[in-house]
Structure 1
Amino acid sequence: MAPKAEKKPSTAEEDQQQEEKKLSSPAPSPAEKKPAKAEKRLPAVTKEGSGLIEKKKKKMKKINETYKIYIFKVLKQVHPDIGISSKAMGIMNSFINDIFEKLAQESSRLARYNKKPTITSREIQTSVRLVLPGELAKHAVSEGVYGYENNRVINEVRI
């Protein structure tokens, strides 16, 4: 372990300069040392030449996930010559979000009823039958089973 450095005896001039520094800048009170975390801060303002320039904080861009791209792709597969307005696209996006939310709630409820911790494809299939009406449920289940089997076969080939 290294020995501690010894303090040099200070001269009277150095002591006087230190006291003047202390007197010229008053010690901030404890409340002024740290600003409260909830305190709102104004943007920094700097003087450049004759005018004032404000520094602005960059805003974080909120990531907004939608199904608009996929809705448009399906529309072009079914009716290539038809377009869709932005208002109608917003309505379709809300519709898909609502359906997915209903399916998730129903699947969760089924898993809870059966005291299972995991939502499997069986719960999803049953919730589709319960949420969607008649013929629409039959088509959705058949397409879902086809997609599930197709995905399973592809994953088995990789292994």
Structure 2
Amino acid sequence: MPEVKEQIFLVTRTVNTRRFPLIPGDSPDNKDSISLQMRDLSVLLGVVIIDMPEPAKSAPAPKKGSKKAVTKAQKKDGKKRKRSRKESYSSYMYKVLKQVHPDTGILSKATGIMNSFVNDIFQRIAGKASCLAHYNKRSTITSREIQTALCLLLPAELAKHAVSEGTKAVTKYTSSK
């Protein structure tokens, strides 16, 4: 018989209670539904739960007008530490916005939302293109896989525009070589 290994999950002291219906599809508010806590569920699943002590509260943040607030992190020798660089599409989005609407600006919060949107679409396209290359037993993602991934992910008219813009960009790149 195979050996059973224990799994250990760390949870905080706050344990949520949830009601589960006896019949699938029934509402959880039914009087016959079962109330399970995280501990009961762990017994059913065969896992061990360890209670962690509640996190210690840190010192309160200095007030806005306080002179003790340090704006930049410093090392022990007194030298200023370099900030880690964050990659984003914000500068490119700003340039495109100025090409389309020269008199319009964009908030940094909106830029952050657009940045996460671009990253999400990029990951979806890359993931789908990777799957397509894997299905066809190829180790390289080419423009053909990207084009097919676009057609699968985007609606019809939007996919046509994306494919034409992508084709235009690829031909511009190959002609400049």
How would you bin the TM-score normalised by the shorter chain? 0.5 to 0.7
* Superposition deviation, residue 58 in structure 1: 4.7
What does residue 111 of structure 2 align with?
Answer: 89
TM-score norm. by structure 2 comes to 0.54
Q: Distance in 2 between matches of 1:85 and 1:73?
A: 14
Aligned length: 102
Q: Give 1:120-159 correspondences, 5 Å limit.
A: 120-155=142-177
What is the root-mean-square deviation in Å for CA atoms of aligned residues? 1.4
1:83-113 alpha-carbon deviations (Å, 9 max, x no partner): 1111111100110000101011001000000
Moved over 6 A (4+): none
1:99-141 alpha-carbon deviations (Å, 9 max, x no partner): 1010110010000000101101100111111111121110010
Q: Give 1:101-112 correspondences, 5 Å limit.
A: 101-112=123-134
- Partner SS for 1:83: coil
What does residue 98 of structure 1 align with?
Answer: 120
2:77 is the alignment partner of 1:74: no
2:135 is the alignment partner of 1:113: yes
Relative to total residues, which structure has the larger helix share, 1 or 2? Answer: 1
1:20-55 alpha-carbon deviations (Å, 9 max, x no partner): xxxxxxxxxxxxxxxxxxxxxxxxxxxxxxxxxx63
Relative to total residues, which structure has the larger strand share, 1 or 2? Answer: 2
Q: Distance in 2 between matches of 1:138 and 1:132?
A: 9
* Superposition deviation, residue 63 in structure 1: 1.4
TM-score norm. by structure 1 comes to 0.60
Q: Distance in 2 between matches of 1:114 and 1:70?
A: 34
What does residue 65 of structure 1 align with?
Answer: 87
Unmatched segments (≥5 aa) in structure 1: 1-53
What does residue 21 of structure 2 align with?
Answer: none
Q: Distance in 2 between matches of 1:124 and 1:118?
A: 11
What amino acid sits opposite 2:123 in the alignment?
Answer: E
Greater RCO (CA < 8 Å, at least 6 residues apart): 2
